[in-house]
Amino acid sequence: MQVLALQYKAGNILIPISMVAQIVSRSAIKPFHCRADFVSSKIIWRGIEIPLVYSSKMLGAESSSDTEFERVVVLWPMKGSQAEDLFALTSIGSPHVVNIDADVKRLENHEPSIVSKESSKKYVLDYLQVEGMPSVVPDLRLISNLIFKPEIGSDDKK
């Protein structure tokens, strides 16, 4: 299976290739209000305002700003979402395609170098070792719900 590896401060975030709408360079960002503190900005993509998820901050980086990333990965809406329910993730470097096979090494979820804060672990579905780097598979459904359906997305998960 092929995934896109986005870089964050402690490793990689793995996203299914089929969910990627486009990888874009940094562009102007505007303020955006969301109950998740890691979604405080939005970008304009193809004329649509899209919430921007600061990947490192989502995974527990102590300090995170709009200068931390080089690329933005725009994701197609989650199944069952509205067409305008797009969101984007930051990547501090250029994302790249990775092949995941059945022999991929799973990491323990308590690995301190992968996710910096205990509270940030709720956004992670799995921990893997990919290309020698610690990597996380984010819970994109939970993130989407926090942004677009706050009554469904719960800060109490896990």
Q: Is residue 156 part of a domain?
A: no
Contact 21, 139 (CB under 8 A): no
Q: Is residue 154 part of a domain?
A: no
Q: Is residue 70 part of a domain?
A: yes
Q: Which pLDDT tens digits describe the chain residue by residue (158 residues)?
A: 899 999 988 889 999 999 999 999 988 899 998 888 899 899 999 999 999 999 988 988 766 555 678 999 999 987 777 777 899 999 999 999 998 887 778 777 555 566 667 778 889 998 888 888 889 999 999 999 899 887 665 544 44
Q: Is residue 153 part of a domain?
A: no
Q: Is residue 158 part of a domain?
A: no
Domain count of the fold of the chain: 1
Q: Is residue 155 part of a domain?
A: no
* pTM for the model: 0.85
